[in-house]
Amino acid sequence: MIRGVVNARREAIVALRVRGPNGAEAEVDGVVDSGFTASLALPAVAVTALGLARHASGGAVLADGSVREFDIYAADVAWTGGWRRVLVYAVGDEVLLGMSLLGDHKLRIAVVPGGVVEIAPLPAE
């Protein structure tokens, strides 16, 4: 199970370890974003620090209506007991955890400042 906390702005924050292809690791605090359909977004400075290699490019319409072009990278994320390979979008200044990363998991958030955030795998059917 992954645990986090709700901050004063009522954002669900979870600490993640992210690993690049050469073994460089970073711990980042990410905001759970149910409007982000991909797995993970990292700021460009984190992408560079991890030594991620560009995989592709893409574009998206952001919540504010603006269109943003960005590069896509691959990285490993420590996730519920193991490492998981994910695509990383280099966009914005925040770390975002998207719905693809949360797939097949149960998300529980007590939406009050200091509330508990829990992410757990769903039982196999």
Q: For domain 2-121, give the CATH superfamily.
A: Acid Proteases (2.40.70.10)
What is the residue-wise DSSP string for 25-57? EEEEEEEE-TT--SSEEE-HHHHHHHTPPEEEE
Q: Which residue has the higher pLDDT, 79 or 60?
A: 79
6-39 per-position pLDDT tens digit: 999 999 999 999 999 999 999 999 999 999 999 9
Contact (Cβ atoms closer than 8 angstroms) between residue 33 and residue 40: no
Domains of the chain, by residue range, sit at 2-121
85-95 per-position pLDDT tens digit: 999 999 889 99
Q: What is the CA radius of gyration of the chain?
A: 14
37-73 per-position pLDDT tens digit: 999 999 999 999 999 999 898 887 777 888 878 899 9
What's the CA gap between 96 and 43, in Å, rounded?
A: 9
Q: What sign does the CA torsion over 14, 15, 16, 22 have?
A: positive
